């Protein structure tokens, strides 16, 4: 199995857009290289169903079709082909909203290195399995990511419900660039909070991106499934996020996260290496997590704006991993990866541990801010 040095900087945003468009995804890069650069779903606007009629009155001549999601109470407006690149301007003119593209936070920085895969791999031995602890009362951590495979670390735990990873969505006989990400993130949580219950939803594609609409829908689905199970999501981990043209949070995300007042929300600050707000991490009520290296300094790739709350190790993190094997089989092992995606679960686990020690959510936030200080 080949091994790629994770310190090779991956593709930039426009190159990623071109890669993703090769697989049929309609994306638009707004203000390339400018101060408001961001990716949005091409030819698409979204709006609450209650606001749909006035929006349609303003842009009916540009619309191809409308899809109403009654569960989310949102509508997706698909524009005609001639208007696909004008979605930013049309959103401003009509009062509709863009569907921003979210980047998985390691996607622009490196590729995981699998352990134990032969002479070319890092000689570090397999990692010990975290203890099978059970906290009483339980602390439940919700995760939005690519899924969580039945890796040996997880499969024997009473709470585990597999959410299989999609390893080769593009069917090119190779592992997708973000595949295995959720299994890795869950492993970081398990190492640091072995008594927690982890509930994972697939919101991030194995190619490394998602969007506002999908994240909002999966947030709502996670909340509803927890309610049906009689659980409360105590900590929520979001490992992807987006930049926006106006550096304001997409309204659909802000509105959905307002429905989680009793949950400590932790989000990766992003790997764009600047101070531009990365959403939803930059929301005041969300703990935004930067990544540090072995020297304790903020990593060069990590976002580091004044909206960042805490910093945790995010370089050469080691965790559980799943790899595509010949013939389409799955190989479970361990990997090393870098990104704010892997600093975020470290903080989420610290919050969970604080909650388990009978601290309330505000005390847990204060505790991690004190222990994982972000030096501005």
The number of C-alpha atoms within 13 Å of 13 and in the hemisphere containing its C-beta is 23
Of the candidates 219, 199, 177, the one whose C-alpha atom is nearest the C-alpha of residue 6 is 177
CA 1 vs. chain centroid, Å, equals: 27
Instruction: From the candidates 145, 176, 212, 234, give the one annotated as an active-site residue.
Output: 145
The answer to whether residue 294 is catalytic is: no
Instruction: From the candidates 181, 211, 212, 338, give the one annotated as an active-site residue.
Output: 181
Instruction: From the candidates 302, 319, 338, 341, give the one annotated as an active-site residue.
Output: 341
DSSP string, 68-126: EETTTTEEEEEEPGGGGGGHHHHHHHHS-EEEEEEEETTTTB---EEESSSTTS--PPP
**CA–CA separation, 244 and 205 (whole Å):** 20
The answer to whether residue 181 is catalytic is: yes
**CA–CA separation, 376 and 366 (whole Å):** 17
The answer to whether residue 341 is catalytic is: yes
**CA–CA separation, 163 and 147 (whole Å):** 5
**CA–CA separation, 286 and 117 (whole Å):** 38
Contacts of 46 (CB under 8 A, 6+ apart): 74, 75, 76, 77, 96, 97, 98, 99, 212, 213, 252
In sequence order, the β-bridge partners of residue 33 are none
- Which are the catalytic amino acids? 145, 181, 341
């Amino acid at each position: 199995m080949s091994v790629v040095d994770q310190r090779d900087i991956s593709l930039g945003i426009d190159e990623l857009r071109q890669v993703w468009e090769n697989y049929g995804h309609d994306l638009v890069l707004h203000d390339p290289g400018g101060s408001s650069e961001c990716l949005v779903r091409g030819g698409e606007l979204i709006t609450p169903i209650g606001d749909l009629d006035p929006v349609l009155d303003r842009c009916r001549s540009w619309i191809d079709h409308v899809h109403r999601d009654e569960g989310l109470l949102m509508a997706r407006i698909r524009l005609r082909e001639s208007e696909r690149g004008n979605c930013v301007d049309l959103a401003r003119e009509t009062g509709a909203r863009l569907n921003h593209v979210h980047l998985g936070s390691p996607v622009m920085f490196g590729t995981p290195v699998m352990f134990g895969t032969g002479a070319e791999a890092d000689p570090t031995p397999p990692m010990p399995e975290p203890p099978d602890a059970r906290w009483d009362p339980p602390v439940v951590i919700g995760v939005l990511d690519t899924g969580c495979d039945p890796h040996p670390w997880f499969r024997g735990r009473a709470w585990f419900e597999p959410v299989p990873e999609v390893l080769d969505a593009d069917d090119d006989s190779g592992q997708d660039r973000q595949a295995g990400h959720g299994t890795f993130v869950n492993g970081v949580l398990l190492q640091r909070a072995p008594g927690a219950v982890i509930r994972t939803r697939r919101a991030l594609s194995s190619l490394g991106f998602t969007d506002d609409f999908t994240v909002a829908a999966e947030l709502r689905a996670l909340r509803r499934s927890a309610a049906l199970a009689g659980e409360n999501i105590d900590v929520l981990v979001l490992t992807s996020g987006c930049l926006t043209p106006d550096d304001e949070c997409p309204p659909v995300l802000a509105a959905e996260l307002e429905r989680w007042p009793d949950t400590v929300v932790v989000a990766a600050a992003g790997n764009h290496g600047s101070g531009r707000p990365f959403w939803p991490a930059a929301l005041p009520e969300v703990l935004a997590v930067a990544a540090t290296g072995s020297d304790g300094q903020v990593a060069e790739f990590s976002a580091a704006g004044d909206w960042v709350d805490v910093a945790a190790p995010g370089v050469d993190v080691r965790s559980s991993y799943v790899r595509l094997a010949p013939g389409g089989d799955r190989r479970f092992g361990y990997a090393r990866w870098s990104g704010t995606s892997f600093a975020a679960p470290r903080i989420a686990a610290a919050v969970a541990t604080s909650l388990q020690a009978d601290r309330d959510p505000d005390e847990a936030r204060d505790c991690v801010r004190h222990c994982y200080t972000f030096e501005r």
